[in-house]
Amino acid sequence: MPHSGKTLSRRLAATLPSFEAMDQAIYRTIAFGFPLLTMVIITGAVWAQYVWQRWWGWDPKETASLVTWLIYAGYLHGRRNRGWQGITTARFAVLGFLAVLFTLAGVNFLDSLHSYGQPVRVASSSLLAGFAGLSRPETYLTIAFFVGHLLAFLLVLSGVISDRLVSTRAGIVVASLALLANTAVLILRCVEAGRLTFTSGYDFSLWFVWGITVVGLWVALRRTPLALVASLPVALLICMYGYLYFPHKGHVPLPPALQNKLWLHVHVALAIFAYGALALGAGWGALYLLKSALAGRGAAAEGAVRAAGK
């Protein structure tokens, strides 16, 4: 089929919700995530005050999260007072989430109080080496949850493009199963460590992906399955980061500063949901930009056809 690529992109563009709906969807995720992000920063500050009697120390992670907060705050003000909508919303959602990713992963490469268990600078070249040291059930569950995410994404995507409800529903079911596998991995790891595993970069990537999938599924079930098309790629990206960049997946005892269980748990739990919502927003933003690019190309092609016809 010579025109299959063009047809596919046109179909995808037609399948995606209207620009207004996507703008609204992005705005909702940010309006939901922003207060949570604020709580993450505040609980972090309160916790730091308990540990070091210093609620703010310009640690790279603190600063990066402040920058993230400022980006989203700027966007919310612009929307309210300047009517920033449409592509501006999409761009801000992506930009803000890049800042989230920097907060999460980028600062691990800087000297930070939050640099979890020394990530490697270059990803592991052997794809299966990352499973070394994991128990067999955990390995299988981890593979199941990685593959499940990918499969669910493909099923939902093909379902919405070809308008086949069966495929979309299957995608939602697979995503739910992948979430269950993710939950099982987390439970296994918590049982193994004897506590909630919130300290290594790999563990946090698992929690983060869990949050993204929960938020994605929630929106997929309540509104549109396309939410999974938006959120699952981000989840997969973070899975891969955690898996490849943290080859040592064993449990390390909590350093003294992290032994304040209450604040550790509140802080990280809020972060999981805040980042989950913002990740979904970024996914929507990327889809918005994609649709806008496809529409732009389509419009240009149509113009060319019309010119040729004349």
Partner 1 sequence: MDEKDVSESPQPSEEITLGDVGRLLGRKLKEMTTVFYLLIILAAASFLATLIPQHQPAEHYLQRYGPLPGYLIMATGLNHVSTAGWFLGLLAVLMLSLLLCANHLYRLGASRWSLPAASFISRFTDGSGSLSHELRQEPQTAVQTVLAASRRAGFRGWDRGLAEDRSCLYLVRHRWTAWGATLAHYAVFAIGLGALLGSLPGISVNDYLEVNEHQTSTGAAKQLPFDVRLNSFTLKHFSGTQHVENYYSDVSLLVAGEEVRRQVISVNQPLKYRGYYLVQSSWGLGAAQLAIKRPGGKPAQKLEFPLDKEACPVGHDPGTTCWGVPSEESIIFLPDQQAALVAVAFYPEARRQGTEVIEQPAGLSGTAALKLVLVSRLPASRGRREAAAPPARQIDAGVQVSFTQMTAPGASPGGSSPTPPTPEAGGMPHAMQELGWVLAGETVSTAVGDISFTRVTRSTGLGIRKDPGVPLVWTGFIACLLGLVMIFYLPLQQGYVTVTPRQNDPAGCQVSLRLRGGPLTETQADTHRLLENIIAAEGAVTPPTGRKDQ
Closest separation in Å from C-beta 146 to partner 1: 30
The count of other CB atoms within 10 Å of the CB of residue 230 is 30
Q: How far out from the chain centre does Cα 75 lie?
A: 19
CB of 295: closest distance to partner 1 in angstroms?
Answer: 25
**Residue numbers of the site for partner 1 (CB under 8 A)?**
27-28, 31-32, 34-35, 38-39, 42, 45-46, 49-56, 58, 60, 63-64, 66-67, 70-71, 73-74, 77-82, 107, 110-111, 252-253, 255-257, 259-260
State in angstroms the smallest separation of the CB of 20 from partner 1. Answer: 13
Name the residue nearer to partner 1 (CB basis): 10 or 251.
Answer: 251
Q: How far apart are the first and last CA of the chain?
A: 27
Taking alpha carbons only, the member of 203, 214, 202 closest to residue 273 is 214
- Closer residue to partner 1 in complex, CB, 79/249: 79
Backbone angles phi, psi at 244, to 5 degrees: -85, -35
In whole angstroms, the minimum distance from the beta carbon of 46 to partner 1 comes to: 7
Identify which of 285, 287, 210 has the alpha carbon closest to the alpha carbon of residue 30.
285
Q: Which is nearer to partner 1, 58 or 128 (CB)?
A: 58
Q: How far is the CB of 101 from partner 1 (least distance, A)?
A: 13
Residue 96 vs 148, nearer CB to partner 1:
96
Whether 168 and 155 have beta carbons less than 8 Å apart is answered as yes
In our burial notation (b when 16+ CB lie closer than 10 A, e otherwise), range 168-195 reads bebbbebbbebbebbbbbbebbeeebeb
